[in-house]
Amino acid sequence: MNRLKGKSILLGITGSIAAYKACELIRLLRREGCEVDVVVTEAAKNFVGKTMLRALSGRPVHDSVWTDDPGTIGHIDLVTKADLILVAPATGNIIAKAANGIANDLLSDCLLARRQALMIAPAMNTFMWENPATQRNVHFLKENGVLFSGPVAGDQACGDNGKGRFKEPEQILEDVVHFFTPKLLTNKKVLITAGPTFEALDPVRGFTNSSSGKQGFAIAKQACLYGADVWLVAGPCHQKTPSGVHRINVTSAQEMLSSVEAICDDVDPDLFISVAAVCDWKPAQSFNQKIKKKSDTELQVEFVRNPDILATVAQRRKGPLCIGFAAETENVQQYAQDKLHKKKLSLVVANKADAIGSDYNEAWFVEATGTTALGKTTKEDLADKLIIKAVQLLTNQKD
């Protein structure tokens, strides 16, 4: 998705068994569009080779202060060009050196010479991590603005189980993206609905739709990255809760409405993004016992309308800025315009109904002032564009 386009990262790799995972991390960082300069310690070279690191990073790999080039001072040049220094994996030794200003090899020289942010992803035996000396060093570094990505608890290479395990490369990548994302929604509270609803007919049967929840969860994750406090009311779906998001699971539209109204009353959100594919109807009657088949009889089910959650929130006095979605099979933009006016919304994201369950979405931003075509993008990309648009709408609302 090019979330790190134009950024330069100096990646320090130290001598931990987790060094092999740094290879995957380089690949992930580069896939997001950033340049990665690698510095390895002597110990790290016992686990990963310079040839492989060079191939993965596409750049020379550095391991010594002593270069032949008379025009450069290696560690100063490396540090100057980096937007972020990331040490992953970081041993107890490099953490101790960083905390105490010890500079006796290229990587520790870089850490002492740095002026930009430093993120450390520790990896060590749990007793080394818990050692008071390490904890003192970590505490000192945190107090001085150094960021930590992990460690996490779990099985360790040495056979122990506990805290000290290297965070997975995908999660370290998310921490790096979080670092670079401008916190445009700091102090903003965002409420999002996602997924389908399920309207029970009896204890084993019901009425629902094929919404996966992907789009709503992607928006919740993005809002969090931009610094918002996020409440996500989710219908039945199998998406992982994005880190930092308050998730409330519900089943029916009525439960979703109750949950949304309670959050509106309790936290007074600034923004409501209604992404859920709420069932428009529910069975008029829901049975406590399983309906039994009787030979040769059809089952007639009467449906009644569900409450419109978005319209209810949009009618609140001093309620949040409201954004809705409109998935249609035809006349996509026209129906979205109608919804914008009928439900009194600030913005409708119109999309084709075939986006339901897919990883992609073809969408339009429909506002009173006009319509913007966004083309076909991933749901993550649409989430990013929508959050940036929401920031603009919130800013205009204030002016």
In the complex, what is the shortest distance from the CB of residue 236 to ligand C5P, in angstroms, rounded to a whole number? 15
d(CA 313, CA 7): 40
In the complex, what is the shortest distance from the CB of residue 237 to ligand C5P, in angstroms, rounded to a whole number? 14
Of the candidates 233, 253, 340, 387, which one interacts with ligand C5P according to CB under 6 A? Answer: 253
| Residue in the block written with tokens 């001085």 | 144
d(CA 174, CA 180): 10
d(CA 34, CA 26): 10
Query: Could you tell me where the DSSP H helices lie in the chain?
Result: 19-31, 50-57, 74-81, 92-100, 106-113, 126-130, 132-143, 169-180, 214-225, 253-267, 309-314, 332-342, 379-398
Of the candidates 326, 366, 390, 394, which one interacts with ligand C5P according to CB under 6 A? Answer: 326
Q: Is 62 in the site for ligand C5P (CB under 6 A)?
A: no
What residues are paired with 9 via a beta bridge?
36, 84
d(CA 290, CA 282): 17
Give the x-and-dash track for 265-304 against ligand C5P (CB under 6 A): ---------xxx-x-x------------------------
Site for ligand C5P, residues 182 to 201, rule: CB under 6 A: 193
Q: Is 309 in the site for ligand C5P (CB under 6 A)?
A: yes
b/e code 276-304 from CB counts within 10 Å (16+ = b): bbbbeebbeeeeeeeeeeeeeeeeeeeee
Of the candidates 23, 110, 223, 310, which one interacts with ligand C5P according to CB under 6 A? Answer: 310
Catalytic residue ranges: 158
Q: Which range touches ligand C5P (CB under 6 A), out of 19-27, 82-90, 224-232, 319-327?
A: 319-327
Amino acid code (one letter) for 385: K
Site for ligand C5P, residues 336 to 355, rule: CB under 6 A: 339
Q: Is 214 in the site for ligand C5P (CB under 6 A)?
A: no
Comparison of 119 and 314: residue with beta carbon closer to ligand C5P: 314
**Given the rule CB under 6 A, which residues bind ligand C5P?**
193, 253, 274-276, 278, 280, 306, 308-310, 324-326, 339
